[in-house]
């Protein structure tokens, strides 16, 4: 598939997509990029969880020449068992061994897990306990590195209990809504900066 000026090979979709026109990838989908530079990780789709912006963000990154894969988690609803408040209608958030392996093969992860801060910060902690990969967190609500540090997550500024760490945050990303170009530019800028730091 040609994206921008470079040809990138992308294998996509585990099965038939959801929604009108097949616009939402099914849970368990892994779209592999040519190289394992960046992986965009999305929550499972459902009537409240719509991972739509992740596809738009992935397309923007690929268009800017960044090799970006995408994975839609199979058990990306709810909150982890050790989170103080439940979410996702009693469903427990988790990662399959295959998902841990896939995410861990990349240099950088982009994590988008919803809008409720008290839920997604614990999802991020759960993931970064399992994979030693730096991550940029995308969310709608206001958020700081200190929010993660308070629950033991390693960040760009402070070592915590997780082998993976949060190295960037982009707020104002609304699920099931188009991402404004200014926010896409911010994501691309932070991804490029992190990849330079990792080189």
pLDDT tens digits along 148-190: 999 999 999 999 999 999 999 999 998 778 899 999 999 999 9
If pLDDT is split at 50, 70 and 90, which confidence band does 47 have? very low
pTM score, whole prediction = 0.85
Instruction: Report domain 2-198's class.
Output: alpha beta
The answer to whether residue 49 scores a pLDDT higher than 50 is: no
The first and second tokens of residue 31, run together, are 């779209």
Non-local CB neighbours of 108 within 8 Å, separated by 6+ positions: 37, 38, 39, 133, 134, 135, 136, 167, 191, 194, 195, 198
pLDDT of residue 11: 46
CA-nearest of 145, 111, 150, 140 to 128 is 111
CB 72 within 8 A of CB 143: no
Residue 82 has a pLDDT of: 80
């Amino acid at each position: 598939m040609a994206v921008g000026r470079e040809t990138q090979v992308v294998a996509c979709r585990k099965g038939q997509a959801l929604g009108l026109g097949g616009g939402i990838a099914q849970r368990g989908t892994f779209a592999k990029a040519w190289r394992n530079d960046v992986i965009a990780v999305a929550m499972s789709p459902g009537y409240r969880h719509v991972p739509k912006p992740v596809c738009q963000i992935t397309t923007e990154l690929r268009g800017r020449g960044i090799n970006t894969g995408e994975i839609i988690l199979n058990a990306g609803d709810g909150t982890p068992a050790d989170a103080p408040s439940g979410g996702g209608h009693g469903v427990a958030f988790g990662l399959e061994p295959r998902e841990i392996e896939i995410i861990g093969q990349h240099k950088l992860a982009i994590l988008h897990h919803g809008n409720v801060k008290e839920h997604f910060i614990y999802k991020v902690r759960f993931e970064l306990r399992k994979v030693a990969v730096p991550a940029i967190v995308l969310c709608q609500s206001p958020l700081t590195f200190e929010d993660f540090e308070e629950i033991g997550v390693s960040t760009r500024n402070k070592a915590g209990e997780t082998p993976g760490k949060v190295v960037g945050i982009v707020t104002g990303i609304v699920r099931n809504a188009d991402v404004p170009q200014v926010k896409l530019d911010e994501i691309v800028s932070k991804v490029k900066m992190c990849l330079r730091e990792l080189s």
